[in-house]
Amino acid sequence: MKASTAINSHPLLTGLALAGLLCFPLGQAAGSSGADVAGLLSQAAAHQAKGQVNLAQNALKQALGQAQTAGDRRTEALVKNNLASLWILASRKYRAATEEPDIYLLEALKVAEELEDKSLESSIRTNLGNLLVGWGNYEDAVWNYKQAVDQADKDGNHELAARCRIGMATAATFHGSTSLAEEYAGGAEANIAKVKDGRDRALLHIKLGDVYSRMMDNAADREQRGTYLAKGGAQYHKSITEARKAGDEPSQAYSIGFLAGLYETEGRYAESLQLSRAALRLAQKHKLFDAVYQWQWLVGRLHNQLGDRDRAIGAYKTAVDNLTSIRSDLAIVYGNENSPTTFRDSVGPIYYELADLLLKKADETEEGPARSALLVEARATVEALKGAELSDYFQDDCANMVNAGAKSIGQMSPTAAIVYIIPLESRLELLVETKSGLKKVTVDVPSRRLMDQALLFRHHVERRTTYFFKGHAEALYAWLIEPIKKILEADGVDTLVFVPDGALRNVPMSGLFDGEKYLLEQYAVGVAPGLSLIESQEATTPNSRFLFSGLAAERHGFPGLPAVVQEAELIAKSFAPTELMDGTFLKDDLENTFLRNDYRYVHIASHGQFSGKAASTFVLTYDGFLTLDDLENLIRPSSYRGAPVELLTLSACQTAAGDDKAALGLAGVAIKAGCRAALASLWFVSDQASALMVDEFYRALAKPGATKAKALQHAQTVLRNDPRFRHPRYWAPYIMIGNWL
């Protein structure tokens, strides 16, 4: 039985493993389990070869059930190994919370050892190595690969030995052990030479070439980098030769494209362009969609390097279109916690590079419709990435459920401005839309410096005993607000709605400081995960039904929140809420309450946490936890009934500083839950301050003509004017997400 591929650094290779090009045959069932199990294993292999993860998993689960019924322990272990291998590559979307690859692998390993089945044990240890590389546990990964290698060498299984040694080299490379990586890579090459099947040799050369490409990034000097570049190129050349001999055009499509990428690294742009076009033709011929967009992206980069911006833009647009068609498949890979890279890191650059080209072209275009169209297109390009990021985080297409309509900012609110932040490698671009239209402002600050300041500001502003945050708050103000001040003043803007990016999603914008005043003192502030993700339709029902759910008691290891009772009493002065408190704040009671009523306002006063994994994001209830999926199941049906929730308030939640993925969950909570806006906090605030803020917010919101952003500004100002809560640690973390009106 062949072992599965190790997780690799190149973004294509993990996808290839999932799609089947680099995956392994799923093995043979023992005869005692009958032909049905063998047939199910074959079905699973066929589904995995097409990238059909859910169908492959279903077939394997059926096979597992039959093996367990028959009492066939070896086949049960074999199927658990195969299921774990699939889960290592795919996200949690397709499995239950109790199904973990490490558990299945350890259970299978125990059986293999008891049965003294060395072949099965080697396969399981290879998958353990793959899993541990994804976890960053490189030393244990190498140990498991080594056990598999020793047995493969005894059996003369050169393909398995090569795969394991490539896995060892990958682990050593990630760990920074270059000399060990070289040693393992050399051993793998010796094994590859003895592999009989030409197609297998071609694939193994691709994987080994990727290891050398990764080693280039860790090279100590230019000479060493050149050595690894040459070795990587040699592996891709060998792969091309082997694939041609075997008549394997799909493998050629990948190896030629990877070689073109190395030529790009060397600055051999014309040669690289020729190779990338050849790789693209083969990828299109065989419908290798994951490769198609990558090679089109490469063609775009090369045209740009060769000075042909229009052709570069055309190639980039085609690449983005093709990427969009397979985005959900990529999200399965990059939404997987075992992936060594993220969806944003692997796919995000294509959107930002295209936006960069469009913005540069706009700079060279005279004021008028053509320039405006380029600005809108650049913004839409980044907007597409933001929707894709949310879909990747939530592992569903909730972002597509928003119907923002075609309203301009002037139609929605003539005194508001949307500030779209586009951080690029060499500069910052601000796209500002007011009632006068869309304008662009360029700021001379690279994205890394901008994000470093954002992280430092967030780190210091949470600490109430110091004012170290002010220097960072002033730097951010100088880059984000000062350059657009004249535009805002000319149009009488009183509300800023930011569409932030990266570490800025974790920053309290109202706490930016100009040296004398906070941004809070100048503008009402809101944030949006994306312009097209703002629900801009008017509320379809005039009712003001209010649901208050609170947890004052100590539960599940979390401390009590005694001021929650006060929150409920204060809200009752402005509204007449339905109340679920402590023992009545139960998941079933919530569900029944939502089934019977449509609420315009939903307030949850309880501990909550936004995590880097959507499944681990929760709000505490008396009897358990509400996940984002639970909130969606509760709240979204009201929008289908024509009575969407106007505002969801989460008054005691927190989001970890520096965790961009957690910030995605916070940014997208309104979209996920199916409400027009959400009010939440970036970090936990004392419940006394929270109670005062909530009281003032709802008092202001209940007044005729009030907007949610203005009501929040009023409440934060009251907090800031209270001697107990003057530090922005108390008033700044509250953010209005989504429709601010």
Contact 254, 12 (CB under 8 A): yes
The values of phi and psi at residue 374, to 5°, are -65, -40
Q: Nearest CA to 391 among 349, 341, 331, 351?
A: 331
Contact (Cβ atoms closer than 8 angstroms) between residue 401 and residue 671: yes
The arithmetic mean of pLDDT across residues 366-395, rounded, is: 90
Backbone angles phi, psi at 516, to 5 degrees: -130, -40
> What HEC string does 31-79 produce?
HHHHHHHHHHHHHHHHHHHCCCHHHHHHHHHHHHHHHHHHCCHHHHHHH
- The residue whose two tokens read 């493969």 is 152
Q: Inform me whether the pLDDT recorded for 534 exceeds 90.
A: no
> Per-domain residue ranges for the chain?
546-706
Q: 100-154, pLDDT tens digit by residue?
A: 899 999 999 999 999 999 999 999 999 999 999 988 899 999 999 999 999 999 9
The per-residue pLDDT for 11 is 43
| pTM greater than the 0.75 cutoff | yes
Low-confidence winner among 132-136, 463-467, 658-662 (lowest mean pLDDT) = 658-662
- Greatest mean pLDDT range, 93-97, 407-411, 667-671: 667-671
pLDDT given for residue 717 in this prediction: 98
Over residues 580-591, the pLDDT tens digits come to 999 999 999 999
pLDDT digits (tens, 9 = 90+) for 4-24: 333 333 445 444 443 333 344
Residue 281: the pLDDT is 98
Question: Which residues have CB under 8 Å from 351's CB, separation 6+?
Answer: 320, 381, 382, 384, 385
Mean pLDDT of the chain: 88
Identify the pLDDT of residue 450. Answer: 97
Highest mean pLDDT among 31-40, 212-221, 719-728: 719-728
CATH class of 546-706: alpha beta
**Rounded Cα–Cα distance for residues 272 and 293 (Å):** 16
Using pLDDT thresholds of 50, 70 and 90, give the confidence band for residue 155: very high
Distance CA 330, CA 333 (A): 5
Per-residue tokens: 609: 């946490």
- Report the pLDDT averaged over residues 188-195: 97
**Residue 625 contacts by C-beta under 8 Å, 6 or more apart in sequence?**
556, 618, 619
Whether the Cβ atoms of residue 129 and residue 6 lie closer than 8 Å to each other: yes
What pLDDT does 722 receive? 96
Residues facing 650 on adjacent strands = 604
pLDDT at 601 over 90: yes
